[in-house]
Structure 1
Amino acid sequence: MPEGHTLHRLARLHQRRYAGSTVRVSSPQGRFPAGLVDGRLFEGAEAHGKHLFHHYGPDATVHVHLGLYGSFTESPHPVVEPVGQVRMRVVGATHWTDLRGPTRCEVLTDVEVDALRARLGPDPLRPDAEPDLAYAKVAGSRQSIAALLMDQAVLAGVGNVYRAEILFRHRVPPYTPGNRVDKALWDDMWCDLAVLMEGGVEVGRIDTVRPEHLPEAMGRAPREDRHGGEVYVYRRTGLPCLVCGTPVVSAALVGRTLYWCPTCQAG
C-alpha cells in the first residue's frame, strides 16, 4: 500500500497542473459520480496521511484512498481513449490523469471531509500537524510502538516501510510498549520521519540509509526491490544488518510483517 509520501507527491503534482482552472471529470468505468464535479473549478489538492483530496467547492471534494491496488497515471495532451478500468479521469488544459483500482473514490461534503480527517492522527508532512497529539495516544497505550506507528488514528501516513526503518534508525525495540517511549525519543522520531518522508515526496521512493551505509560507501551491491530505495531492515529478513552484521529478523504483527535487527534494536 502506498505510504503518505506518495499521496503528498500526487497532491503537489495535481495542485500544479489543475488548481485554479476548470477541469473535465469523467468515469469511463461508470463507478464514480463524476457529474457532481465535472466542469467545475479545481480549487486545490492536498493529502492527509494516505488520503488524497481534490477540492472543487462549494461543498464538493473528491476523496481518494488508493488501498493496495489503486494507482494514478499522468499524461500530457493529447487525450487518448481509456485503457482498462478507469475509475476517474481528470482532464485539464495541458495534462490528464487516470485513476484505476482505488479502495475509495467518492465525492464528499465539507462536513464529511472534516469528519474523515478528525479520525486521522497528525501527518508529519503537513504544516498543521501537532506531534504532541500523537504522542498523547502513544504515551497512554500499552500497545507496542510498532503497532501504534501503523495506526492511522495515531499517526497518519506511516506504513510498513517507514515504521520498520524509523524504529531501526532510533534503535527502538519494536515491541516496546507505547507508554515506555519517552517524549524526547518521540520528538526525535517525529522530526526524523518528517525529513525522511519529505525526501520521499521529492524523489518518489523511500530512502532511509545514512550516507556511510550507502552501497558506494560500503562497497556492496545496491538493493534490488520493486519498492526501490535503500533501507536498513525492510524486506531484508535473513540478510546481514548494514550496521552490525546480525541477520535481520521478521514477524507478523497486526496483519503486516515487522522487520528489525535483534542486536541494534535490543534496547
Structure 2
Amino acid sequence: MPEGHSVHRIARQFRTNFQGHRVAASSPQGRFAEGASILDGRTLTDVKAVGKQMFLDFDDDLWLRVHLGMYGAWDFAGEITSDATIASANGRMGQTNQHGTDLAAVILDEAGENSLHSIGAPRKTRVRMSEQTKGLSGEDWDTFPPPPVGAVRLRLLTEHAVADLRGPTACEILDGERVNAVIAKLGPDPLLDPSQAAEDRFTAVVRKKPTPIGLLLMDQSVVSGIGNVYRAELLFRSRINPHTPGKQIPEELVRGLWQDWARLLPIGVETGQMMTMDDLRGEDYRKAMASRDDRHWVYKREGLPCRVCGTNIVLEEMGARKLYWCPNCQR
C-alpha cells in the first residue's frame, strides 16, 4: 500500500501541474462516470494530502477524495514538472537527506519507486502497467493526450497534462463539511501539522492504549501515513519491540517515534523513496537510492543478519500485514 510520502508527492504533482487549471474529467473505465461528469469543466483550486488520503478541491465546494489502497496509482503524462525535481537539481535533496551527500541529479530507483509518471501502485503492478503503457510519459506519442490504457477509473486532463487514476480503494465526490469530517477522524500528519500539539496528541493516544505499538502505528486514527515499511523501520530505529503495549512505552520513546516520523517523511517526499538508513555517504548513499535492498534496516530482510547485531531478522504477521524486526535489538 502506498505510504504517506507517496500521497504527498502526488499532491505536489497536482499543485505544480494542475492547480489553477480547468480540467476535463472522464471515466474511461466507466465506473466513475457520474462523478467525472460533476467534475468536468471545473477548476482545481486546492490540494490536500493527509496521511494516505488526498483531497482535490474544485470550485463550488466540490472535493474529490482518493484513497489509493493496496493497488491504486496515479499515472501522469504530458508536460509534467515537479518541485521535488527542481529541488534536487538545486542540491536541496542532498541537503534534506543530510549525511554529506549533495546530489546534482535524481538517482533513479531500479523499481521506479521515485517515478514522476506513476506514483502509488505496488512495484509488481507498476512493472506490468509499464509494459502495457509504454510511452505513457508522452515521449513516444505523436499526439496529446495519449489514449487511456487499461482500467482507468478517472482521467483529469488539462491543455498540457493528464492524470489517470487506476485501482483506488476510494474515489468519491464530497462537500467541504464531509471532507472536514473525514480528516477529523485521521491521526496527525507531521507534514500537515508539525506543531507541538500534534506530537502531544499522538503521544497521549499511544500511551493510553493497551494495543501493541506495531498495530498502533498502522492505525490511521492514531497517526497518518505510516504503512508497513515505515512501521518496521521506525520501530527498529527506536529499538522498540513491536509487541509492546503503547501504554507501557516510556513517554520519551513515544515522542521519539513521532519526531523520527516527522524527520523521515519529508525525506521520502523529496527523494520519492523510503530512505531509512542514516549516515550513508558517497557510493553507499547512491547504492541505497538505487536499490531498496540497500536502504532499509529490517524491511524485507527476513532471515538475513541484522545490520547492527548480526541476529537474523524475523518475519511474522501482525494486523494481517508482514512485520519485520530484530528480536535482539528490539527486545
Q: What TM-score do you get using the length of structure 2 for normalisation?
A: 0.75
Match of residue 77 from structure 2: 75
Counterpart check, 1:247 vs 2:312 = yes
Write the distance in 2 (CA, Å) between the matches of 1:214 and 1:193: 24
Match of residue 89 from structure 2: none
Change (3 A) 1:49 1:224: closer
Match of residue 111 from structure 1: 177
Write the distance in 2 (CA, Å) between the matches of 1:212 and 1:164: 19
Amino acid paired to 2:156: V
Change (3 A) 1:75 1:212: closer
- Structure 1, unmatched stretches of 5+, are none
Give the RMSD, CA atoms, in angstroms.
2.2
Q: What does residue range 6-85 of structure 1 map to in structure 2 within 5 Å?
A: 6-32=6-32, 33-76=35-78, 78-85=144-151
Change (3 A) 1:249 1:213: farther
Counterpart check, 1:191 vs 2:256 = no
Write the distance in 1 (CA, Å) between the matches of 2:204 and 2:258: 13
Contact 2:275 2:289 in 1 (8 A): no
Write the distance in 1 (CA, Å) between the matches of 2:294 and 2:325: 17
* CA positional deviation for 1:228: 6.8
Write the distance in 1 (CA, Å) between the matches of 2:163 and 2:200: 37
* CA positional deviation for 1:110: 1.1
Q: 2:217 aligns to what SS in structure 1?
A: helix
Amino acid paired to 1:83: V
Write the distance in 2 (CA, Å) between the matches of 1:158 and 1:228: 20
Write the distance in 1 (CA, Å) between the matches of 2:269 and 2:46: 18
Write the distance in 1 (CA, Å) between the matches of 2:215 and 2:58: 36
Change (3 A) 1:58 1:206: same
Change (3 A) 1:128 1:168: closer
Q: Which runs of 4+ in 1 moved over 4 A?
A: 212-215, 222-229
* CA positional deviation for 1:28: 1.1
Contact 1:213 1:242 in 2 (8 A): no
Q: What TM-score do you get using the length of structure 1 for normalisation?
A: 0.92
* CA positional deviation for 1:227: 5.8
Percent of residue pairs bearing the same amino acid type: 43
Change (3 A) 1:116 1:226: farther
Change (3 A) 1:128 1:189: closer
Amino acid paired to 2:166: R
Contact 1:206 1:229 in 2 (8 A): no
Q: What does residue range 78-157 of structure 1 map to in structure 2 within 5 Å?
A: 78-127=144-193, 130-157=198-225
Write the distance in 1 (CA, Å) between the matches of 2:194 and 2:236: 27
Q: 1:150 aligns to what SS in structure 2?
A: coil
Contact 2:206 2:254 in 1 (8 A): no
Change (3 A) 1:57 1:136: farther
Change (3 A) 1:229 1:245: closer
Deviates more, 1:21-30 or 1:238-247: 21-30
Q: 2:255 aligns to what SS in structure 1?
A: helix
Change (3 A) 1:216 1:154: same
2:297 to 215, 232, 250: 232
Amino acid paired to 1:240: P
* CA positional deviation for 1:259: 1.0
- Structure number with greater CO (CA < 8 Å, separation at least 6) is 2
Amino acid paired to 2:2: P
Write the distance in 2 (CA, Å) between the matches of 1:249 and 1:124: 29
Amino acid paired to 1:257: K
Write the distance in 2 (CA, Å) between the matches of 1:212 and 1:105: 39
Change (3 A) 1:183 1:197: same
Change (3 A) 1:17 1:229: farther
Change (3 A) 1:201 1:229: farther
Contact 2:50 2:224 in 1 (8 A): yes
* CA positional deviation for 1:214: 9.3
